[in-house]
Amino acid sequence: MAKTALITGILGQDGPYLAQLLLEKGYKVYGLMRRYSSPHYENLNFLGIMDKINFIDGDMTDDSSLLNVIKLIRPDEVYNLAAQSFVGTSWEQAKLTTEINALGVLSLLNAIKYFSPTSKFYQASTSEMFGLGNDHGYQDENTNFHPRSPYGISKVYAYWMTVNFRESYGIYTSNGILFNHESPLRGIQFVTRKITDGVAKIKLGLAKNISLGNLAAKRDWGFAGDYVEAMYLMLQQKEPDDYVVGTGEFHSVQDFVALAFKQIGVSDWKQYVIVDPRYNRPAEVPHLRARTTKVNTKLGWKPKVTFEELVVMMVKADIKRQEVILKNT
């Protein structure tokens, strides 16, 4: 009998890549979805798996809906990827961010405890939990958390609640502390897609410049399609544990910009970039870089796509998107 998996955040970036991986492994995949007047299925359609997902109504801010979903499906594995995940917005919508990212996780864990205690649970944690915390310029599973945003704070709550349900009730729960991971499916409000979409529009004469914030911030960027494999591996182990997932390298936003413009033959990219202080965060995290010894050795996981390959992939995808739009207008 095929294994069943429930994925929250099925319409986001990671959900479709994870669903694709699980479908290839023979899983029956359920996707939790809030009721929308017009849902955005673009990412699932991009991967060609839209008709293979079993959608089920539910909301991370509604306890009863989560109880009903878990009781109905009783999945083998639950991957919680749902979140208000845009860091910048979390200052303006701190309460909503907390309700979804923190209390929603508690509700989902309680539903598992009551109705499906044998389900294995994956929590999408984030490098933003570290904030200013680092160990000689790196972050790993032993680095102290010092989050610098309501988003990071909400994720720290969810992290420890995930650990607590493992220790208190013996439920198989694992945190994946994923560093920045991008793809052509990344939301347009995120800086990486803002850059590659802007570069594509400049190449095609649809825009003259890109407005960005802090170009000096450094991040450990990888490909989302690689990172979902680490999520899967975490729930296949004999014992649950928590893992940092990243590349071990970091690059500045400026590096990303320069490489993106290089793909369209532009070396003097500064003439196209406007640095707008409105995009600076109230409290910035200067740099994040993963020490990945544990995930490399215990799970045998390593990233396949390099930083340059990631940027090239995203620029090409956005150029293709804009060309299709132009053709249809």
Report the candidate in 256, 263, 278, 97 with the shortest Cα–Cα distance to residue 191: 256
Q: Both 146 and 171 in a single domain?
A: yes
Percent of the chain with pLDDT over 70: 98
Out of 97, 126, 173, 192, pick the active-site residue.
Answer: 126
Domain count, the chain: 2
> Given this model, what pLDDT does residue 302 score?
97
284 contacts: CB under 8 Å, gap ≥ 6? 148, 214, 217
Supply the mean pLDDT for the chain.
Answer: 94
d(CA 282, CA 293): 32
d(CA 94, CA 96): 6
Burial of residue 324, with CB atoms counted within 10 A of its CB: 0-12 exposed, 13-18 middle, 19 or more buried:
exposed
Q: Both 170 and 257 in a single domain?
A: no
pLDDT reading at 224 higher than 90: yes
Query: What one-letter code names the amino acid at 166?
Result: R
Neighbours of 239 (CB within 10 A): 7
Out of 77, 128, 182, 229, pick the active-site residue.
Answer: 128
| Confidence band for 88, pLDDT divided at 50, 70 and 90 | confident
pLDDT mean over 161-183: 98
Q: Would residue 299 count as lying in a domain?
A: no
d(CA 17, CA 48): 11
Q: Would residue 67 count as lying in a domain?
A: yes
Out of 17, 151, 159, 243, pick the active-site residue.
Answer: 151
CATH number at residue 317: 3.90.25.10
| Confidence band for 132, pLDDT divided at 50, 70 and 90 | confident
pLDDT mean over 313-328: 94
CATH number at residue 31: 3.40.50.720
Report the candidate in 135, 126, 102, 134 with the shortest Cα–Cα distance to residue 180: 126
Residue 196 annotated in active site? no
Q: Both 163 and 144 in a single domain?
A: yes
Residues in the chain: 329
Structure tokens at 260: 């993106």
> Given this model, what pLDDT does residue 39 score?
81
Euclidean distance between the first and the last CA atom of the chain, given in angstroms as a whole number: 48
Q: Both 19 and 94 in a single domain?
A: yes
77 forms beta bridges with: 5, 120
pLDDT in tens, 270-279: 999 999 888 7
> Could you list the residue range(s) of the whole structural domain that residue 280 is in?
187-219+250-287+306-327
> Given this model, what pLDDT does residue 102 score?
95
Range scoring the smallest mean pLDDT among 95-109, 234-248, 269-283 = 269-283
Residue 151 annotated in active site? yes
